[in-house]
């Protein structure tokens, strides 16, 4: 019995604070067809291709994590659906024994052509970003995006049979905060979940002052309750940082992701792999391990990867230190490099 328990622990990733890491967010590209104002600068330089992990390398990392007890993988980016050959990777990840769930976060622009392919490849759930239903504001916030394509993408995902689709909306005060009621109505009309996200200071941007346009989850919640009625707390736990509520008579969950106003680090169960193969131990800190170097080292084998991943648990920080008003340097990487 004791031996069995210790074998089980051997195949689990547990950090210094006793938190079990069973969730990997994997960025498959830093590129994107949008340039959202909170995520990127207008003129981005993307990584040279040879610096980005190949699909085979991504699969090796995913497999190693699953063998070490990871139960959920979320594919993200940049925009994951602009990565060539992605279905090849998705099919293989989804088939890994021990993986409970393969999910994907997308801006939705490629879903009209890819929703069914994703479903067939074994993706079980989708998060789709949507910050506004106003066409010109959508163009302003994404700089290059076409709202109609994204709405058609959401319809395609519903038609492809995805269950529990979740919309993600980053809310900026005075920009899209008055869009909150329309977004809630859109989600509840279609039985979709929706999460409102506080903007995080990832990467230096000049388009707006993050502190001035900061809109807290409590403010978003007030907007919803003024327009509709009091939100009812739900007992749903998704193992993530969202706190969920719902409107009476609606099955849609309304979530709030509040890295500033409600710190969620104590329950952190996740790590992130950047498209360049850097394993980030915390969204808001720079602690990382270069898995690309491990993968590309001469004579590297599966055990080298296992050792590097296990070793990373020793440097997972206790929590982030986001501060919108801080003079201290912000984390330098943009969200598209982080694997949001
Ligand atoms: N391109 C995909 C998308 O937009 O859904 C996946 C990658 S994107 C980096 C993942 C999520 O991060 C999106 O929901 C986006 O709105 C959010 N995001 C990007 N920059 C952010 C920031 N500075 N603060 C908070 N959320 C951010
Ligand atoms: Fe692209 Fe997503 Fe970043 Fe927008 S949030 S620029 S869609 S990666």
51-94 pLDDT per residue, tens: 999 999 999 999 999 999 999 999 999 999 999 999 999 999 99
Q: What percent of the chain has pLDDT over 70?
A: 88
pLDDT for position 149: 98
Per-residue pLDDT for 329 more than 90? no
Give the residues surrounding ligand 2 with Cβ less than 6 Å away: 32, 34-36, 39-40, 77-79, 107, 129, 335-336
pLDDT for position 2: 47
Highest mean pLDDT among 151-165, 311-325, 326-340: 151-165
Per-residue pLDDT for 144 more than 70? yes
pLDDT for position 285: 78
* Interacting residues of 44 by C-beta distance below 8 A, sequence separation 6+: 35, 334, 336
Rg, the chain, Cα only: 20
Q: Are 102 and 122 in contact (CB under 8 A)?
A: yes
- Pull the structure tokens for residue 247: 């409107």
Mean pLDDT of 172-191: 97
Best residue for ligand 1 mutational test, from 258, 335, 338 (most atoms within 8 Å of Cβ): 335
Q: Which residue's structure tokens are 């330098």?
A: 332
* Interacting residues of 167 by C-beta distance below 8 A, sequence separation 6+: 127, 128, 129, 130, 154, 183, 186, 187, 192, 193, 194, 195
**Whole-structure pTM over 0.75, yes or no?**
yes
pLDDT for position 282: 85
Element (H, E) at 126: strand 125-129
Mean pLDDT of 202-209: 77
Nearest CA, atom 11, ligand 1: 340
CATH superfamily, domain 23-338, is: Aldolase class I (3.20.20.70)
Q: Are 58 and 108 in contact (CB under 8 A)?
A: no
Tell me the CA–centroid distance for residue 291 and ligand 2, in Å.
24
pLDDT for position 204: 72
Q: Are 161 and 204 in contact (CB under 8 A)?
A: no
**45 C-beta neighbours (distance < 10 Å), count:** 7
Cβ(123) – ligand 1 distance below 6 Å:
no
Annotated domain spans of the chain: 23-338
Cα–Cα distance between 64 and 309 in angstroms, integer? 8
Quick one: which of 162, 221, 236, 158 has its CA closest to 190? 158
Cβ(105) – ligand 1 distance below 6 Å:
yes
Return the ligand number nearest the Cα of 169: 1
pLDDT for position 327: 45
| Residues 1-25 pLDDT 10s | 444 444 555 579 999 999 999 999 9
Per-residue pLDDT for 109 more than 70? yes
Q: Are 107 and 146 in contact (CB under 8 A)?
A: no
Q: Which of 157-161, 300-304, 331-335 has the lowest mean pLDDT?
A: 331-335
Per-residue pLDDT for 42 more than 60? yes
Per-residue pLDDT for 169 more than 90? yes
Per-residue pLDDT for 331 more than 60? no
Q: Which residue pairs from 316-319 have beta carbons closer than 8 angstroms and sit at least 24 positions apart in sequence?
A: 316/15, 316/16, 316/17, 316/19, 316/21, 316/268, 316/271, 316/281, 316/282, 316/287, 317/281, 317/282, 317/285, 317/287, 318/17, 318/265, 319/263, 319/265, 319/266, 319/268, 319/282, 319/284
Cβ(340) – ligand 1 distance below 6 Å:
yes
Nearest CA, atom 3, ligand 2: 39
């Amino acid at each position: 019995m004791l031996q069995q328990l210790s074998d089980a622990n051997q195949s689990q990733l547990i950090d210094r604070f006793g938190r079990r890491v069973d969730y990997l967010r994997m960025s498959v590209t830093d590129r994107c067809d949008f340039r959202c104002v909170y995520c990127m600068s207008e003129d981005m330089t993307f990584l040279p291709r040879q610096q980005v992990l190949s699909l085979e390398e991504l699969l090796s990392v995913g497999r190693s994590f699953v063998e070490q007890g990871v139960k959920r993988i979320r594919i993200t980016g940049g925009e994951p659906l602009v990565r060539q050959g992605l279905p090849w990777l998705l099919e293989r990840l989804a088939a890994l024994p021990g993986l409970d769930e393969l999910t994907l976060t997308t801006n939705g622009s490629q879903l009209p052509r890819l929703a069914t392919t994703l479903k067939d490849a074994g993706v079980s759930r989708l998060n789709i970003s949507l910050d506004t239903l106003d066409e010109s504001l959508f163009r302003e916030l994404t700089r290059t995006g076409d709202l109609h394509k994204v709405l058609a993408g959401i319809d395609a995902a519903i038609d492809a049979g995805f269950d529990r689709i979740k919309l993600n909306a980053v809310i900026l005060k005075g920009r899209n905060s008055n869009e909150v009621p329309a977004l809630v109505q859109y989600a509840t009309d279609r039985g979709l979940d929706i999460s409102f996200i506080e903007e995080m200071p990832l990467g230096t941007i000049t388009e707006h002052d993050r502190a001035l346009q900061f809109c807290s989850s409590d403010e978003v919640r007030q907007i919803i309750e003024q327009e509709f009625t009091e939100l009812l707390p739900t007992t749903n736990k998704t193992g993530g940082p969202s706190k969920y509520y719902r409107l009476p008579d609606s099955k849609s969950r309304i979530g709030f992701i509040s890295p500033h106003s409600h710190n969620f680090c104590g329950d952190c169960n996740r790590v992130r792999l950047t498209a360049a193969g850097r394993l980030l131990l915390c969204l808001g800190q720079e602690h990382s391990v270069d898995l690309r170097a491990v993968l590309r080292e001469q004579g590297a084998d599966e055990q080298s990867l296992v050792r590097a991943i296990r070793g990373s648990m020793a440097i997972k920080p206790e929590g982030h230190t986001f501060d919108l008003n801080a003079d201290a340097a912000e984390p330098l990487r943009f969200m598209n490099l982080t694997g949001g």
